[in-house]
Chain A
Amino acid sequence: MVSLFILEPTPDALHVKCHGKWEHDTVSSTLNHNFKTPLKNIVFDLTSIDTIDTAGAMALLHVKNLLESQGKVFEFQGASKSTQGLLDLCIEHSSTHSKPHKEPKRFSDGLVNIGKMVEEYWLTFMAFISFVGGAVSALGRSAVNPKSIRFRATLYHMEHNGMYALPIIGITTLLVGVVIAYQGAVQLEKFGANIFIVEMVGIAATRELAPLIVAIVIAGRSASAFTAQIGVMKITEEVDAMRTMGFGSWEFLVLPRMLALIVSMPLLVLFGDGVAVLGGMIVAQAELGVSMSEFLARFQETVALKHTLIGLIKAPFFGAIIALIGCYRGFQINSSTESVGHYTTISVVNAIFWVIAFNALFSVLLTELGW
């Protein structure tokens, strides 16, 4: 704490001799000092001040106002021209504002907030349904007029979201196959029912796990990518430029991405099926002594084709959901950098949630139908 002043009480007034550096890094001690004195007059002598900045000037004024409110008579003395100029500037631009009256927090505030959140979710959901409607209608127009499909753009997205995702899909589905086979093996061994590992892995992987894992990985990868791409294009006004040149956002931005995922997902799921079963086979051989040829032979017999087909039928729907959510959130991005991070995150979370929700729906529906 640097002392910036010397107190000199005289019979008629308290002289405060200010000296040294009155700047933002030294002035806090002054603000904390309690200038208590029985004398009515107070004089701040500024002649010995070395340097002063805005914080210093405001500190002086703060003390002045404080003491004047206590009924003291305050005076500045010996201010240099620049110091006086700074003081005048601060006085000119100071504002007297009353502290905002803080409403006491009430229990109903929490309920109001919940209500507002629910309303917002509802409105966003409705806006999304509207977006889906627009996409389907654009899809319809493209079906009637195939020339309007941006083929190269669609292929580009298939390459980046399908082909380039193969390594990560391969690794994740392999690991998932290994894990379920491993846990299953432990239980089956107890009953000596080792050979049932084939059905377990075959049905679980092709019907449920591979499609779900592939969808989740692609949701993480592509939903965020689409949101970020479209969002940044909005920020740089590329989307506006496209619209003024007659390049509609549906045909040029949304449809290529949607079609790319709808076509790529079944292919990725098929690949994932194969790799997951391979993972299961490896564990079956290592842990249960079920050889690969035994596994495959039994697989052909017991694992019906319908399971794989069901997994493949779910895939394009997942693809459509991921693309639509990714694009929708992208268009929501406005010009702040914060909104890019915000909506990219929301986009992935939404996509993963809805993929899992639809998967559950399919599961129940198809099982109830007896498939």
Chain B
Amino acid sequence: MVAVDVKDIVTAFGSHVVHDGVSFQINQGEIFGILGGSGSGKTVLMREMLMLNTPKEGQIHVLDYPVHKLDDKSKQDLRMCWGVLFQFGALFSSLNVLENVMLPLLEYTNLPKPFIADIARMKLRMVGLEESVVFKAPSELSGGMKKRVGLARALALDPKILFLDEPTSGLDPASSRAFDSLIVSLRDLLGITVVMVTHDKDTIANVLDRFVIIGNKRVKACGDYATLMQEEPDLMQKFMES
């Protein structure tokens, strides 16, 4: 089953062309990576899946929703199916940690508030945060903690698909590995499809089921680590070194 289908995407900002015919598919339940050198347009690609940017040409289907031609109601329906973790957490600065995680539940469900608080606390514990951070303001958190709160918030509505933008960037090696295992266990437990933009060599080698390498405005390679190491050793060597 295909979770995300990217077809013939052309992206341009004015005369600057970022993608010129990018196509790949993401299967349900896999942890998929979008890789590429700096400036290759990986984040832009993910933003196009999230309807934050519009490609010039091409189609993207997320969970069978044709992202390029949805009406407002369908857009909202789709947004309820995913969770997004931005690179620096993007927590709402006017709310504390617990309120940040509770917000999607408060807005979109009729559950009673104390129950929602329980769910939020549970998600925060799930991502490895302790009770002591629960009432802190986002400005009082370290980078790693912000990312974890962001992840808890992304998981608030039990999404079918999780989008992560450079989840381990800025984290020390131990925290990065801990974050990786958290993602894997979430996928194993909840069957979420995970799409991440990442540079992290350990993540690429150990966590991703498959990935796509974007370069020169196109897809340079797509597949799993073992196969690509065999079939495209030059590209992989160049890429993993860089």
Contact = CB atoms under 8 A, between A and B. Distances in A.
Q: Do A and B bind each other?
A: yes
Interface of A: 233, 236-238, 240-247
Ranked nearest first, the 5 interchain pairs of A and B with the lowest CB-CB distance are A241-B90, A237-B90, A246-B79, A244-B84, A237-B86
A241 B80 contact: no
Interface residues of B, number: 22
Nearest to A243: B52
14 contacts: A237-B90, A238-B90, A238-B91, A238-B93, A240-B52, A241-B84, A241-B86, A241-B90, A241-B92, A242-B92, A244-B79, A246-B79, A246-B107, A246-B108
B88 interface: yes
Contacts of A246: 75-76, 79-80, 107-108
Interface of B: 47, 50-52, 75-76, 79-80, 82, 84, 86-88, 90-93, 103-104, 107-108, 163
Contacts of B91: 238, 241
Nearest to B75: A246
A363 B51 CA distance: 46
Contacts of B79: 244-246
A238 B153 CA distance: 13
B53 to A, nearest CB: 10
Most buried by B among A233, A238, A240, A245: A245
B79 to A, nearest CB: 4
B104 to A, nearest CB: 6
Contacts of B51: 243-244
Given A240-B47, A240-B86, A244-B82, 11 more contacts: A237-B87, A237-B90, A238-B92, A241-B90, A242-B92, A243-B52, A244-B52, A244-B163, A246-B76, A246-B107, A247-B107
Contact of A245 (B88, B93, B104): B104
Most buried by A among B47, B52, B103: B52
Given A244-B82, A246-B79, A237 B88 contact: yes
Contacts of A240: 47, 52, 86, 90
A48 B163 CA distance: 61
A247 B108 CA distance: 11
A242 B163 CA distance: 14
A241 B93 CA distance: 12
B170 to A, nearest CB: 14
B221 to A, nearest CB: 28
A73 B43 CA distance: 54
A247 B107 CA distance: 9
A286 B91 CA distance: 57
A47 to B, nearest CB: 40
